[in-house]
Amino acid sequence: MKKLLEISLGVVTSIGGFLEMGEMSTAAQAGAAFNVQLVWAVVLGTICVAFLVEMAGRFSAVSGHTIIDGIRDRFGIKVLAWPLVTTVLVSLLVLSAEIGGVSIALEFATGITYRWWAVPVAVASWLFLWRGTFGMLEKGVTSLGLITLCFVVAAFRLHPDWAQVAASAIPSKPHTQAATYWFMAASILGASLSPTLFLFYSSGAIEDRWDRSYIGANRAIAALGMTFGGVISAAVLVVAAQSMHAHGIESIEDFHQLPLLLIDTFGMWGFALFAASLAIASFGAAVEVALLQGYLFAQSFGWNWGQDCPPRANPGFSLAYTLALVIGAIPIAAGADPLKLTILSMALTAVNLPLMVVPFIVLMNDEHYMGEHRNGPVSNAAVLGITGLAFVLGVVTLPLQIIGGT
Amino acid sequence: MPRSSGQRDGATSKRSERYAAVKTRAVAAALVVTMAMACTACSSSDEEQTHARIALSFARSASMWLDGWMNDGVPRAYVKRSLESTGEALGKRIDKLPGSISSSVSAPMKDIAHDLDTARHAVDAGDKARVGLVLSRLRKSTAALDAWKQTHRESGS
């Protein structure tokens, strides 16, 4: 009964914590530009992230290590240094994007420009981490994230052609704007497969003291939570296709266009729902990404870590997330466009993926760590294939988008 | 079977070297692909299409904001800030338009930018009659750009 409750809670928090600024922006832009044609990227991303999250939980439950800790132990600090540096840099960009997400939600709510909200949002996130517990983040903020289910309701109310949506789950070539199409695919995959999610999940499994008895619960949480999360992400894309592409809005260049996603369906309530969804989802993500910086540094250098211990017991860990929030707030306070920053950071995440995923896959196949719970060929092939695709798309299309400037 | 620490150190060092070599090759290949793709980026016709698409999207978004405000469906501050932001973004695009861009694209773009600015002032003043006029002008400008886009698509140029 206790396990069943934990599974239910895990699934609920996975759903509530799935959508954030990156998922929302990439899916909205893809739906506006290409109708439902890019649903396949959301499907591939969801399949891959379900495998990655399941593997992350299984690894921690069986070996007692987090992924970072495991890579350091297996390959040494020199090999860990590359993925560590790039993941920290990309995560800082993602953190800025999430702070930007909360800031623009506050601009919608108050009319005060987003730049002024960057520092208060960073301070609020820091206070949450300084004073709060892992349970408050895991169960509190992410449960509030269930508000993002309003996108699923909107998708049904807009009556899309569901046969066309289902057919779009199979990858197809674009009719126009090929470079933008593949770039959007890379960004959607980057948003879904962010290392933040599985590195955080692995650290969370250790924080929650998982052991081998959690393998079944972990599998259920990863499969159900990520699938339903993917459904919300696909719903955003469908809503964008119906409320923007269908009205001739084929480009979202300005974040002020984003609330139109729900205004079309719910009117004034749509505006409020969008602002609340963006604020809660991005705040949860900002706190998680900042906390991940603490995990990354503490686990790489063997410092004490743990969100449930007081900050004075983990000075290095606490300093790392504090500095991350300071650095993350700077671009937004300086006036960087949160939408452009988000799309760029998601594409960079796709490019950075193999650096973290490849050593992780090696660990998952190592009998020394995993014993009889090693990976099977299906999970190896799915994860390597999809992250490889995301990497190639990101590497090829990112320079074109930067040069093209669109 | 757990390995001894000596065996593991040697194996770790070899794996690190192999990993570094593979990574260097991958980075070099990525650079070559990037440079090749960058050389073929963006024709002038693509540029016109991009400008037209963005201007149309801004104009249609503005119509939705203004319709929403007229029906008391969205807050005035949000509509005003949205019109200001998209107007500025479109203005910057117009300032950077190269001479090669057709006037069939640049003229409606300028009209839309002007309409966004007028709409912002009208919303600020709470003048719904003026907003109604701007809405009808915005529809004309979008129709002109739409017609250009349609011809462009049909001719396949």
Give the global pTM: 0.86
Asked if the C-beta of B151 comes within 8 angstroms of chain A's C-beta atoms, the answer is: no
Residue with tokens 């203004």: B66
The distance of A368 to chain B (nearest Cα, Å) reads 6
Chain A: give the shortest CA distance to residue B108, in Å.
16
ipTM here:
0.84
Q: Are A44 and A188 in contact (CB under 8 A)?
A: no
Contact criterion met (CB < 8 Å) for B41 and A113: no
Q: For B116-137, what is each residue's pLDDT tens digit? A: 999 999 999 999 999 999 999 9
Clarify whether residues B32 and B63 are in a common domain.
Answer: no
Tokens for B144?
């002109």
| Tens digit of each residue's pLDDT (9 = 90 or more) over A301-356 | 888 877 677 778 888 889 999 999 999 999 999 999 999 898 888 888 888 888 88
Distance CA A294, CA A267 (A): 41
The domain in which residue B112 lies consists of: 44-155
B7 and B59 together in one domain: no
Q: Does B42 touch chain A (CB under 8 A)?
A: yes
CATH topology assigned to domain A2-404: Amino acid/polyamine transporter I (1.20.1740)
Spacing of C-alpha A328 from chain mean position? 16
Chain-centroid distance, C-alpha A61: 22
What is the pLDDT, as a whole number, of residue A333? Answer: 96
Whether B72 and B149 map to the same domain: the answer is: yes
Does residue B100 share a domain with residue B68? yes
> CB contact, 8 Å: B146 with chain A?
yes
Q: Do A396 and B12 touch (CB under 8 A)?
A: no
Q: Does B31 touch chain A (CB under 8 A)?
A: no
Q: How close B33 gets to chain A, by Cα (Å)?
A: 7
* DSSP H or E segment with residue B111: helix B103-125
Q: Give the count of domains, chain B.
A: 2
In one-letter notation, the amino acid at residue B50 is T
| B15/A75 CB distance under 8 A | yes
**What is the C-alpha separation between A117 and A310, in angstroms, rounded?**
28
* Residue-wise burial string across B52-87, b where 16 or more C-beta atoms lie within 10 A, e elsewhere: bbbbbbbbbbbbbbbebbeeebbbebbbbbbbbbbb
pLDDT reported for residue B141: 87
Question: Does A267 sit within 8 Å of B68, measured CB to CB?
Answer: yes
Which range, of A186-195, A225-234, A310-319, B11-20, averages the lowest pLDDT?
B11-20
Amino acid letter at A176? T
- B31 and B92 in one domain? no
Residues of chain A in contact with residue B33, where contact means CB-CB under 8 angstroms, are 395-396
- CA A60, CA A125: separation in Å to the nearest integer? 27
> Given a cut of 50, is residue A53 above it in pLDDT?
yes
pLDDT at position B5 is 46
Min Cα distance A172 → chain B (Å) is 20
Give the CATH number for residue B113: 1.20.120
Q: Which of A176, A271, A395 sits opposite B30 (nearest CB)?
A: A395
DSSP A220-268: HIIIIIHHHHHHHHHHHHHHHHHHTGGGT-----SGGGTTHHHHHHHTH
B56 contacts chain A (CB < 8 A)? yes
User: Between the CA of residue A359 and those of A83, A242, A303, A371, what are the distances in Å?
Assistant: 9, 41, 22, 17
pLDDT tier at B11 (50, 70, 90 boundaries)?
low
Range of lowest pLDDT (A38-47, A131-140, B144-153): A131-140
Q: What CA–CA distance (Å, rounded) separates B112 from B77?
A: 21
Let me know the angle formed at the C-alpha of B104 by B98 and B107, rounded to the nearest 5 degrees: 75
Cα–Cα separations (whole angstroms), residue A88 to A41, A54, A91, A291, A323 = 25, 23, 5, 12, 12
Q: Is the domain of B73 the same as that of B91?
A: yes
Comparing CA positions, the residue from A326, A291, A76, A94 lying closest to residue A201 is A291
Q: Can you tell me which residue has the tokens 């593997």?
A: A55
Q: Which of residues 378-397 of A touch B (CB under 8 A)?
A: 395-396
